[in-house]
Structure 1
Amino acid sequence: MRFQILRATKLTTFGNLAASGQHTWRERPTPNADATRTPLNVDLRPVASASELVNAVRHRIGEARQRAERPVLCIEYLITASPEAFARHAGGKGLPDKSTYFRDALAHFEQLHGANNIVAANLQLDERSPHLVIYAVPLVETGARLRKRSVIVGTGPNGEKVREVREYEEPATVKLSAAHFLDGRAKLAKLQTDFHLAVGRKHGLERGKPGSQARHSRVKRFYSQMAERTPSYPELSLPQAGLLETKASYGVRVQEAIEKKLAPLIEPLFVRSQALDVARESEARADRRRDEAERRRKVAERRTELALESELSSRQRAESLSLEIARLLAGLSSAEAHQVLDAYRAAKEDRDRDHANSRSLGRSFPPK
C-alpha cells in the first residue's frame, strides 16, 4: 500500500530554526543527500537560506501581541509518501518527483495557517524520496470573548479558601500559539485526517491507522532514516607479508590498510554519533529550563495568592474594627463620641511614636 507521510516538529529557538534551515538548504554536510541532484531542489517561497528563514520568522512573529514565555517560533512540516508511491521507485508507475501532490499540500497548509504565515517551502529532490519542507509561523487571530476564572474571595470558618467563578472580557488579539494546531493527540490525529481528506486521498495515498501505537521518529532523524542508502562495504584485501617481516610489523600494515578502506564509512557514523550527543544534551538543557520555569511560575502564583489573602485579611480586620467602634459609640451623644474618638487617636499616635522610638533605639544600639 502507498501511504501519505506527514510529520510536524516545533522549533522553539532561533538556534533550532537556523540548524533546520542549514539542513534544508544544504549549508551543512548532508551525507544522505546526492550533491549532484541538489540543484534540482525547488524553493516555493522567496526564502532560500537559513539566514533568510530566521529573518522571515523574526519579522512575522513581530505581528503577535500575545505569546508564551518560551513560545514555539515556527512549525516545520515534512510532507512525502512511502517510497513505493513514487515513480522513481515503482518502475515509472507512481508520483513524479515534481508531483502536484506537493503543490496541493502547500495549498492545504496555506489554508490552515494563512498564506502570509508560510514563510518558506522547499521541495527536495536530492534524497532517496522526494519531500516537501514547509515552515509555518503559528499566528492565531482570536476575537473578543468572555472568559471565566476561579478566584479566591475569602477564607471560610474552617480555614479553607473560598473561591467563586468570575467573568472577564478578553479583547481580540493575535497570539503566537503552536498549541492551537498541535496540542494533544486529538489535534495531531485531526491534522493527519484532514490532510488525507484534502490531499492524500486525491493522489491515491492511504492514511495510517488512527490511534496506532507505532512510534514516529523526530523529523531530523526521519530525514536520515528515510533517505539513507544501504552502505556498500568495500572489499578488504589483506597486504602480502614480507619474507623477513615480523608479525608485529605485518599487523600494523594490515590495520592501516583496513582503516584506510573503512574510513569513508566510519567518519559519517562518528559525525552522526557526535550530533546525537549534542541533540541529547540540548534536550536535557531544555528539560531543565522547563522545570525551572515551572518552579518559578508556581512560586509567583503562591506569592500572588498570599498577597490576596493578606489584602482580604486586612480588609476584614478594618471592617471588624469599624463595627466595634460603632457599637461602643452607639449609646453616646455626638460630643461624647467625638471626645472618645479624639482620645483614641491621641493614644494611637503616642503608641505609634513610642514604637518608632524603640525601633530607632534598637538600631542605634545593636546587641553585642
Structure 2
Amino acid sequence: MNYAILRTAKLKTMGNIGGSLAHNYRTIETPNADPNRTPKNHHSVATPEAVKKAIQDRLPEKRRADAVLCIEYLITASPEWEGWGTDKEAEFFERAGQWLSEKHGAENMAGLSIHRDISTPQLVAYVVPIDQKGKLNCKEFLGGRVKLSQMQTDFANTVTDLGLTRGKEGSTAKHTSIKAYYHDINHARDFRITTEPPKPELFESKASYGEKVISAVIEQIEPTVKAANSILMDYEKARIDKSVAEESYETLKKRVEPYLIATKGLNQEEITRINEAMQLESRKIAVDKDKIK
C-alpha cells in the first residue's frame, strides 16, 4: 500500500522560520541531500529572504505573543510509490499546491518548494494561517485531532487516482504513513565504518600508493560520516515531532545510541562543540577528496 503523507509544523518565531528556510533552501549543510541534484529543486520564491518578507507582510500588527506565525507543510508519498520520476510525480505536486492554495488562499501562500535532491521527493510550503475574518488563527486549521484527521482525508482524496491512499483513520493509520516516510532512514543507513585498502601495483612508489590508500579510505568513510550527521538531524526532528510513530522514533534512537551515550551529562555548549566537530570532519573529508582528485 502506498500512502499520501502530509505533516505540519507550527513556526512561532521569525527565528524558527529562518532556520526552516535555511534548511529548505540548502543555505546550511544538509547531509541527507545530494548537492549534485540540488539544482533540480524548485522554489516558487527565489530566496529565503523573500519568503520571510512575504510572511511578515501578511502578519497582522495585533497578534498574541505566542501566536503561530506560519504553518510549514511537508507533503510527500511512500518511497516505494511507482509514480516517482514519472508524470504522476509532477501531477501529485501540482495538486498538492492547488489543495493548499484552496485551503488557505493564494495570498497566504508565502512560498512553496519541491525537493528532488533527497531519496524521496517532497513538497514544503510556508503558509500564514489567516482565517476568513482576516485574523491570525492557526487553531482554525490545525486545532484538534478531528480537524487534523479530516485534513489528512481531504488531501488523500485529491490524489487517490494516482495510486495513493490514506491509511485507516486513527493512530494506527498515522503511524503507518509516518513509518513509510522514514523507511529509507531506518533501513538504508549504517554507522559502521569499515575500510579495505587497495592492493599496491607492481613497482608502485610509496608516495603513489599512499595517495591511493588515502583516497580509498576517504571514499569509503565519507558516506558514513554524512549518514551519521543526517540520522542525528532526523532523530532530533523526530524527538520534537509528536506525530512520529513510536516505532520509528525508537528505531532512530537506537541508531544514534553511541552518540547519545557519548554526550550524556554534557552541557549544551559541549554538545554543540561535538556537533560542530562532526560537521567540520565531514567538510574536511570533502576537501581532502577534492585535493586528491
CA distance in 1, matches of 2:15, 2:224: 29
Of 210, 229, 238 in structure 1, the residue corresponding to residue 169 of structure 2 is 210
Q: Distance in 2 between matches of 1:212 and 1:274?
A: 25
Assess if the C-alpha contact under 8 Å between 1:77 and 1:134 holds in 2. yes
1:139 touches 1:176 (CA, 8 Å); kept in 2? yes
- Unmatched 5+ stretches in structure 1: 143-173, 240-256, 282-368
Task: Kindly indicate whether residue 119 of structure 2 is the aligned counterpart of residue 128 of structure 1.
Answer: yes
1:203, CA displacement in angstroms? 2.0
Q: Take 1:214 and 1:78, find their aligned partners in 2: how far apart are those partners?
A: 17
What is the match of residue 46 of structure 2? Answer: 48
Question: Does residue 178 of structure 2 align to residue 182 of structure 1?
Answer: no
Using the TM superposition, give the Cα deviation of residue 277 of structure 1 relative to its aligned residue in structure 2, in angstroms.
6.9
| Number of residues of Structure 1 aligned to a counterpart in Structure 2 | 222
Q: Once the two structures are superposed, what CA deviation does each residue of 1:95-143 show, in whole Å capped at 9, x if it has no partner? A: 547421111111111111000001101111111112111111001132x
Deviation at 1:230, TM superposition (A): 2.3
Name which one, 1 or 2, has greater alpha-carbon Rg.
1
- Is 1:76 equivalent to 2:72 in the alignment? yes
Query: 2:55 is aligned with what amino acid?
Result: V
Measure how far apart 1:214 and its partner are. Answer: 6.0
* Cα offset, 1:273, TM superposition: 4.2
Question: TM-score, normalized by length of structure 2?
Answer: 0.64
**Equivalent residues in 2 for 1:209-228 (5 A)?**
209-213=168-172, 225=182, 228=185
Preserved contact between residue 78 and residue 132 of structure 1 (Cα < 8 Å) = yes
Q: 1:10, CA displacement in angstroms?
A: 0.6
Matched with 2:195 is 236
Shift of 1:193: 1.1
The answer as to whether partners of 1:200 and 1:207 remain within 8 angstroms in 2 is no
Shift of 1:227: 5.6
Secondary structure of the corresponding residue to residue 140 of structure 1: coil
In 1, Cα distance between the equivalents of 2:230 and 2:3? 32
Structure with the greater relative contact order (CA < 8 A, sep ≥ 6): 1 or 2? 2
2:119 is paired with a residue of what secondary structure? coil
- CA shift in 2, pair 1:114/1:277, >3 Å: closer
After superposition, the Cα gap between the structure-2 partners of 1:20 and 1:182, relative to the gap in structure 1 and judged at 3 Å, is: same
TM-score (norm 1): 0.52
CA–CA separation in structure 1 for the residues paired with 2:229 and 2:223: 11
Q: What's the RMSD between the two structures over aligned residues?
A: 3.7
In structure 2, what is the equivalent of residue 200 of structure 1? Answer: 159
Is the CA contact 1:32–1:227 (under 8 Å) kept in the aligned structure 2? no
* Structure 1 counterpart of 2:42, one-letter code: V
Q: Aligned residue for 2:94?
A: 103
Partner-residue secondary structure (3-state), 1:138: coil
- The percentage of counterpart residues that share the same residue type is 36
Counterparts of 1:30 and 1:207 in 2: how far apart (Å)? 30
- Whole-angstrom CA distance in 1 between matches of 2:180 and 2:128: 22
Return the match for 2:110 from 96, 101, 119: 119
Deviation string 1:144-202 (CA, Å, 9 cap, x unpaired) is: xxxxxxxxxxxxxxxxxxxxxxxxxxxxxx211111100110110011111122x1223
Give secondary structure in 2 for the equivalent of 1:83: coil
- Aligned pairs (5 A) from 1:326-345: none
Any idea what SS the aligned residue of 1:36 has?
Answer: coil
Is the contact made by 1:2 and 1:204 (CA closer than 8 Å) also made in structure 2? yes
- Structure 2 distance, partners of 1:226, 1:105, is 22
| Alpha-carbon shift at residue 60 of structure 1 (Å) | 1.3
Letter paired with 1:20: S
Whole-angstrom CA distance in 2 between matches of 1:140 and 1:176:
6
CA contact (8 A) 1:129 1:226 kept: no
Residues 1-368 of structure 1 mapped to structure 2, 5 A cutoff:
1-43=1-43, 45=44, 47-61=45-59, 64=60, 66-88=62-84, 95-96=86-87, 98-142=89-133, 174-197=134-157, 199-213=158-172, 225=182, 228=185, 230-231=188-189, 235-237=194-196, 262=221, 265-266=224-225, 269=228, 273=232
